[in-house]
Structure 1
Amino acid sequence: TGELIGNSPFMNGLIALIMVLFLVTGTAYGYGAKTFSSLTNVIKAMEKALSSLGGLVLLFLVLSQFIAYFNYTNMGTILALSMAGGLKAANFPPLVLLIAFIIVVALIDLLITGAIAKWALFAPIFVPLLMELGVLPDAVLAAYRIADSPINSITPLNAYFALVVGFCQRYDKSAGVGTVVSLMLPYVVITFIVWTLLFVAWQQAGLPWGI
């Protein structure tokens, strides 16, 4: 096709190539370590690895249906636009508006996990608004990234959340969605507060956001 990266046969078949790579190296290691003596041992090892994924597959099914129905209703988009409109009409000072923007984006991140999708909703509203108040778009983007990052680890709407739950269940059979959220919540809160304070200090100091 003339290109290696992008919509190319190489990229489309990358998952299969990675699977073959790990299959070959894992099998070679098993024979080298004398844990495999025949093809039957290889198959049994694969069965053992997949046997613990039954609950994960079911969890993927439930969460995928929930995410699909949630996206179908457009509730996240409507709520995001409503909150953005409310902030715009509040006439806050620039720094207060930026902090409020961080909080709103963090709340919306519980419902819309896609970074590009949220930015497409908020940028047309807040970038021009804050530019009129003397705030550079770089600062708006920095505030957005601060709000967008920590919450991803505790929202069940994250596409990878079910995978994290599945990994937890390997070590704790009783682990579920609440277990992961309760474990990650302290880190999320601390990260969110520290990053917000760093943002405020950086903005108040007038330091450049990028070169």
Structure 2
Amino acid sequence: MSILRPNLGKLIKFYSHSDKELIFDIKKDIELEFKHADALQGLCEYPLPIPYYRAFWSRAKRHVYGYKDLNKALNEFFKEFPSSYKKREPYNRAANQFLKWYDEKRRWRNEDFTEDKSKYTFTSFHLGQENPIKLKNEDFLAIKLNNEQKKIIYSCFSPRTMISSEGARIALWIMQEAFPNVPANSFRFFDVLHARSYGLIDYQLIGNEKQLLSSRYKLILNAYEIERNKQLEKREAA
């Protein structure tokens, strides 16, 4: 997923990065972008491996909905895909942090979470005409509490950087913009790998979120263009 058309989780992760971490992840992104281009031309294996967090998150949601225990589901996944078992550390970390968050929330609320099967629709959100932010249905965890209150939780996987409070505010603002017909207190932005979720009760909007995002995103795009040109020069010289 290029930073030119980012999903919400990647955008907020990049927003929260230090400059050094941002350049590191942009380089990785561009390398993957070129690999996809090479694969389409038959120059390398295709399809490329699915990111671990996709396989993990679908199973984490089923755990919350009561369909299957997360650890059991991951063990079954590793048996089905042995190559993933060799790279199981990211899955283990994600599972430990997710269960830490989930168990804490259940103890605090002392009630079960059930699947919210409502059909939510969201409006498209753009950082300018050419740069849409993607909110994907599979990235949401939609739950219903015993009192019929609903929560829409959007996942983010940031291995090194904890999501900043500013980044959390911007994520919640984007969710409000994308879901104009959903009560604002329903939204949570979930930093899975740091077992931390953010809601408007603790991170209230102050009105400058659009300006902050626009300014930071311009810097991200500039860094992307510089690094991409460097890698293009290396490819052409090889």
TM-score past 0.5 threshold: no
Q: Which has the larger radius of gyration?
A: 1
Greater helix content: 1
Higher relative contact order at CA 8 Å, sep ≥6: structure 1 or structure 2?
Answer: 2
Greater strand content: 2
